[in-house]
Chains A and B, each alone.
Chain A
Amino acid sequence: MANYSWPPMEKRRLMGKRLERLDGIAKSTGRAKYASDFNAPGMLFGEFLTCPHAHARVTSIDTSAAEKLNGVTAVRVIAKPGTEIQWAGAEVASVAAISEDVARDAVRLIKVGYEVLPHLVKEDDISKAGTRAKAAGETVTGDLEKAFSEADVTHEGSYGIPVITHCCLEPHGQVVEWKGKEINFRPSTQNVTGVGGDLAKNLQLPATDVHVKMDYIGGGFGSKFAADLWGVESAQLSKASGGKPVKMFLDRRTELTIAGVRPSAFAKVKVSAKKDGTLTGWQSDSWATGGFGGGGSPPLPYVFINIPNQKKNHSAISTNTGGVRAWRAPNHQQATYLTCCALEDLAAKLKMDPVELFAKNADLTARPEVYRNQLKKASELMDWGKKWHQRGDSGAGPVKRGLGLAIATWGGGGHNSQCRAVIHPDGAIDIELCSQDLGTGTRTIITQVAAETLGLPMSAINLKIGDNSLPPSGPSGGSTTVGGVSSSTRKATINALEKLYEAVAASLGAKQDELEAVDGRIQVKGHPDKALTWKAACQKLGVKVISEMGANDQKNPGGLNAQGVGGINMAEVEVDTETGIVKMKKFVAVNDCGLVVNPRLAESQIHGGVIMGICSALTEERILDAATGRVLNADMEFYKLSGVGDIGEIVAHVEVLPEHDKRGIVGLGEPSAIAIPAAIANAVANAIGVRVQRIPLTPDRVLAALEGRNA
């Protein structure tokens, strides 16, 4: 069997280099065509009528006026009379028309009668949830009562992290053309391979009828895997409009109301420790909502999983709100927030540096050595030893400075992926796999691996992705893409090379296994004089085209990719105690991520994760109105993201070390986005001397905490 292992670190020409992303110019010149940029002659626009009530039964629906409107080609009822609707924003009817504006006019002409029913949209106070809270049952390890009674110090606290949305800048949607037997489906998706089958299933058609194509996606973050109701409705509207393509992308209000959220998490936590900081007990009563279907159950205690005595209760609250979707590292931001805030509070009570507390308890984690090293590295980059002070001990002026830290872990591993490497007799190379580049750099990485393996420049590779007629590759979620596509590409290109060696061995007077591909040549190993140029070698194929597959098997990665990483994040903030405004000064993110294919792209991933975390820590929160049950801030003015001036200095440290490298490739998208809100919240507590229990750390919450009005 061929040896697929990665070339040794010192021999890599392209892998491990800080190369620019290949589609950078297409994007920064506005030429990249996203799903939402697709135009076609005669294209129609689809719109939804959505329900204004959080809980209601449809009693009547009259679409006649809409149908008569000039320019309208189809009107469809989604929620027939009798349908019970469980959240505001749910789809009631859909319309296709010659323009977006006409489609909206038509939507306004549809008359719907509702019987309004009682709703629950807020979950922060579990005592008000009644029967909507479902307890998962108690988990007990060891003897918690004993641990608490024997502890030198215990701490009890309440913490909360709210529901937030994905707020992808390109909204969810697609263009669908359903003509006869064929469906052309152009979605904004993280799942080009699987989304066609999902649409087909919903339309009760064979998966082979759906052709999916997507070149660029404007953000997904875990929310774009399925065909969704909008995909299905676009298809039906297209069919009802004589097969014309229908473009349907959610408007921002609908996007932020129904296209997915990260579940909340709230907890009352009690922790205990010995004088030296050794953790002895953990108790948590937590609850969360992920919408009507529930969801959200943070793994507690996070990372410090082996605290000897534990008692945990978790309840899922069903609310009349739009449903949960995977959000970059599902459950992990919540879990690290609830855990690390409690630990930082405990450290403050012990008058102990939390870095010491974390290091002291590293043995309670799954990777003690990794975390100890990362604590050291992060401290050094933050200059923690010099800057840290006891909680609240931050000088006389109104502006207080503080430091905080938090911890992360993630699985990753490479998803199933198949790649086809095609070598043409003229020397041209196609690399084909049905993956997608979310902006993580997947195109660049695949090309680096292929060119590295074939001994050619990046420009020699013609990469084809984003089309479900190509060999299947997994959805891009859970940081599994880089491991999957790199490994399948490595294998396919090696398999293709073997075939090329076979074809040219005789003319080089050598055996097939004595050949290598270097610097644009096929040569006898170590003998540049006994060589054929790439072109000349390929010409030996005559009319034969080499087409070889390579597959990554998620369960058996063969050393090419791995899973399981740790990360330490540290934040430095300034808090103005007169205004309550929190300002980011510096953020340090230390992540281990196995073999790094492209450090520049890896750093970008970390920067992105940190900045998303800053938004989540300081400004982001989906706010519901208890009375009407609607989202109050389903827009980008009041659903706030940080801007370029809000982020401070960010130090992303990618650990490129032989001991990490030899593990193979590990994804970085999720682990880089986990511990940020927790680290920032802890830095604020360190600065102002009191805990702000809930994030985002808005000025009103900071001022309330300072005045002892913690909710």
Chain B
Amino acid sequence: MGTKGRCLVSSRKDPDVSKTGQSGFSRRGFMQGIGVGSGALGAGILENEAQAAPPPGGFSGPGGVAITLRINGKPTNLTVEPRVTLVDALRNTLDMTGAKKVCDRATCGACTVIMSGKVVYACSVLAIDAQGKDIQTIEGIGSGNKPHPVSMAFVHHDAQQCGYCTPGFVMAAKGFLDRTPNPTLEQVEKGLGGNLCRCGTYVGIRQAVLEAAKEIKGGKNG
């Protein structure tokens, strides 16, 4: 065993999800119900993490179903197969490519979005289950002219190299700071432990998140 508990449990971002899935449906069971093997989206997802409320009106699919997602405050209509994950829907259907698909199984955080205030891995949420939630993506925080303070702090501290992990980190950091506005370094290290970077930008990331915390507070006070 390695030292880093990057097992499924520690990398879970949304410990409360199980409470919302009252139906007894699991993502895997659901997919098997529509004739798709569990291999399709990667086995090994914790049942309670993958629990999903049934789509309105019972079963849908196997073809495309029309759904509405509230993304960055705007209702967005799209048609996806019920097995399509939120990250695929964002990237492939809506051309919102800030969230990246890297591990596709809730380990790396590259696909991080904020869903009704909770930081989640968009590769492990079905798009149809994201209906009725407020989905916030990297495209929705800050603007081209006025980037979000977390994005700016990442620039100031050179907390990115290739940048492929960066949108996920920025979203995770934003969600973390929403919950923990006055973090210590240890809290930052724990709070962002669900994201991985291959280029090795953690030194900058630690500084960036601490700076962003100050920036955001200053902005609110001032």
Contacts and interface: CB of A to CB of B under 8 A. Distances in A.
Given A25-B151, A37-B91, A644 B138 contact: no
Contacts of A27: 154, 160, 163, 166-167
Interface in A581-602: 581-583, 600-601
A167 B198 contact: yes
Contacts of A216: 162-163
A635 interface: yes
Interface string B1-23: 11110111001000000000000
Given A30-B98, A637-B105, A640-B2, A218 B190 contact: no
Contacts of B200: 607-612
Interface stretch (A97-105, A549-557, A660-668): A97-105
A205 interface: no
A643 B105 contact: no
Contacts of B29: none
Contacts of A604: 158, 161, 201, 204
A127 interface: no
The listed residue with most B CB atoms (<10 A of its CB), out of A169, A171, A635, is A169
B195 A699 contact: no
B117 interface: no
A469 interface: no
Given A24-B154, A168-B164, A611-B201, 16 more contacts: A28-B163, A30-B138, A169-B196, A170-B164, A216-B162, A438-B161, A439-B161, A603-B158, A607-B202, A609-B200, A611-B197, A636-B108, A641-B196, A644-B202, A696-B2, A699-B2
A366 interface: no
Nearest to B194: A643
A636 B107 contact: yes
Contacts of A698: 1-3
Contacts of A105: 36, 40
A473 B59 CA distance: 55
Contact of A699 (B1, B81, B110, B154): B1
Interface string A1-26: 00000000000000000001101111
Contact of A28 (B144, B160, B195, B199): B160
A365 interface: no
B162 A611 contact: no
Interface string B139-154: 1001010011011101
B196 A637 contact: no
A643 B6 contact: yes
A458 interface: no
B188 A24 contact: no
Contacts of B151: 25, 28-29
Nearest to A603: B158
A218 B196 CA distance: 13
A106 interface: no
A61 interface: no
A218 B162 CA distance: 5
Interface of A: 20-21, 23-34, 36-37, 39, 99-101, 104-105, 108, 167-171, 216-219, 221, 251-252, 438-440, 581-583, 600-601, 603-604, 607-612, 618-619, 635-637, 640-647, 650, 696, 698-700
Nearest to B63: A70
Contacts of A619: 2-4
B164 A618 contact: no
A221 B202 CA distance: 18
Interface of A is mostly: loop
B203 interface: yes
Contacts of A218: 100, 162-164
A640 to B, nearest CB: 5
A583 B3 CA distance: 9
A642 B162 CA distance: 17
B33 interface: no
Residue with the highest number of chain A CB atoms closer than 10 Å, among B37, B190, B200: B200
Nearest to A108: B37
Nearest to A166: B198
Interface in B88-137: 88, 91-92, 95, 97-105, 107-108, 110, 137
B101 to A, nearest CB: 8
A101 B3 contact: no
Given A439-B163, A646-B4, A20 B103 contact: no
A216 B189 CA distance: 28
Given A28-B147, A28-B151, A607 B204 contact: yes
A111 B16 CA distance: 42
B78 interface: no
Contact of B164 (A31, A34, A221, A583): A34
Contact of B92 (A34, A99, A438, A582): A99
27 contacts: A20-B155, A24-B158, A27-B160, A28-B147, A28-B159, A28-B166, A37-B97, A39-B95, A169-B108, A439-B162, A604-B158, A604-B201, A607-B202, A607-B204, A611-B201, A618-B2, A618-B3, A619-B2, A619-B4, A635-B103, A635-B107, A637-B105, A643-B195, A643-B196, A644-B197, A645-B189, A646-B4
Contacts of B148: 29
Contacts of A612: 198-200
B83 interface: yes
A33 B2 contact: no
Most buried by B among A20, A582, A604, A611: A604
Given A28-B163, A643-B6, A650 B203 contact: yes
A108 B6 CA distance: 30
B70 interface: no
Interface string B191-222: 01101111111111110000000000000000
B170 interface: yes
Contacts of A439: 160-163, 199
Contacts of A644: 188-189, 192-193, 195, 197, 202, 205-206
A637 B155 contact: no
A326 B54 CA distance: 48
A618 B4 CA distance: 9
A138 to B, nearest CB: 38
Nearest to A40: B95
A169 B105 contact: no
A305 B92 CA distance: 53
Contacts of A34: 97, 100, 164
B71 interface: no
Contacts of B193: 643-645
Nearest to A33: B97
B53 interface: no
